[in-house]
Amino acid sequence: MRWSAIILLAIGGFGACLGAALTYRQRRQTNQPTTPEPAISVPVVIDKRDVLPLAAIKAPPTTGELAMRYARTLVGYGPRYSRPNGRPTPGWTRQLTFIAETLKQAGLKVERDTWTDRKELITFTNLSARIPGRGRERIVLACHHDTKCTTGHPTPEHNFEFVGANDGASGVALLLALAPVLRQRDNAASIELVFFDGEESLDWHWNDAARALFGSRRYVKRHRDARLLGNEPRIVAMVLLDMVGRKDLHIQEELYSTELLRRICWSAAVANGYRQQFYRRAERAADDHTPFLEVGIPAVDLIDLNGNPTWHTPYDTLDNMSATSLQQVADVVLTMLPAVEQAYVTEPR
């Protein structure tokens, strides 16, 4: 996940984009034909005065603490990334087992997709689990499970012990904590929990994601191939959790994300009383949601990146995380879901 320069407010184009979003929702609700939403387009900051009337949905009060316990386990495995020629770190292997076993304990069937990138000669693994809904369509809730490799870089300051508490473990831990909650929910569409591998850039610098986003690109390609063969229900929306546990939480408005989903996210934060934790800044961040956007799947990134002092440093540790922050993001995600379903899910078949 990387960020560009701060984007100034661009209110001028908001009205047209909002009208298009509302038309999209109206067509969905009346089963009229719809055209795909555009892929990555010119970013437009939402008007935060225009708040959707969402009802706050609180996660169980122990969700944040449970997520912290999961994060503590993950961080205890140490660095968690794969390496060339079948030599992953021990923590990478242990983490995959932990994620799979925790999902199974929640009553979910786990799919493991393992492949070797021909150019990098690195073996990656995505994990996923589906929670059935009333309809066949899918909403993806995702994170990345790999940590940044901080060894072997030519610049000395880029080499240090890195356990990735917030950047890696927080999203994984929160999805695991939400799994039993989502399983008990009456879902209009299937909810798919996806844990991507290879999000972090192999180079220290991002380099336009030339050597990053391996797992999400793989997942989207497989989805598109299966759709062409008529073997898989479509994904109607994607919500990404990345770096969601910092003590001084600030989820930025990520400007590549679909505008309507950003409005839903902000409105969910307002409904829960979390204005100070969300959207104080608006930035662009290339992340695991961008492969979805590139093929026209609406997606939103909940990310705490700009101004985060521990990002890709030795200080990204459990001491700088908070169960309260994880609880707040859980509340926002659960509050978003009914609005996401209303906007994007067709009538269940």
What's the pLDDT band for 86 if we cut at 50, 70, 90?
confident
Report the CATH number that the domain containing residue 249 is assigned in CATH. 3.40.630.10
pLDDT given at position 349: 56
Determine how β-strand 285-286 pairs with β-strand 110-117.
Answer: unpaired
Q: Do the domain assignments include residue 314?
A: yes
Least confident of 26-40, 159-173, 257-271, 317-331: 26-40
Determine how β-strand 235-242 pairs with β-strand 278-283.
Answer: unpaired
Share above pLDDT 90 across residues of the chain, in percent, rounded to a whole number? 84
pLDDT given at position 41: 61
pLDDT given at position 40: 66
Q: Is the pLDDT of residue 208 over 50?
A: yes
Tokens describing residue 110: 């786990």
SS3 of the chain: helix, strand, coil, percent, to 5: 40, 20, 45
pLDDT given at position 324: 98
How many domains are there within the chain? 1
Collapsed DSSP state (helix, strand, coil) of residue 176: helix
Q: What is the pTM of this model?
A: 0.90
Q: Do the domain assignments include residue 40?
A: yes
* Residues whose CB falls within 8 Å of the CB of residue 61, separated by 6 or more in sequence, listed in order: 327
Q: Rounded mean pLDDT of 151-172? A: 97
| Boundaries of domain holding 259 | 2-344
How far CA 312 is from CA of 5, 49, 143, 200, 205, in Å, comes to 18, 34, 17, 10, 11
Q: Do the domain assignments include residue 260?
A: yes
pLDDT given at position 42: 66
What's the pLDDT band for 1 if we cut at 50, 70, 90?
low
Inter-residue contact 220 to 295 (CB < 8 Å)? yes
Q: Do the domain assignments include residue 349?
A: no
Q: Do the domain assignments include residue 53?
A: yes
Place of tokens 């009346």: 30
pLDDT per residue as tens digits for the range 15-68? 334 344 444 344 333 333 333 454 566 678 999 999 999 999 999 999 999 999
Inter-residue contact 99 to 145 (CB < 8 Å)? yes
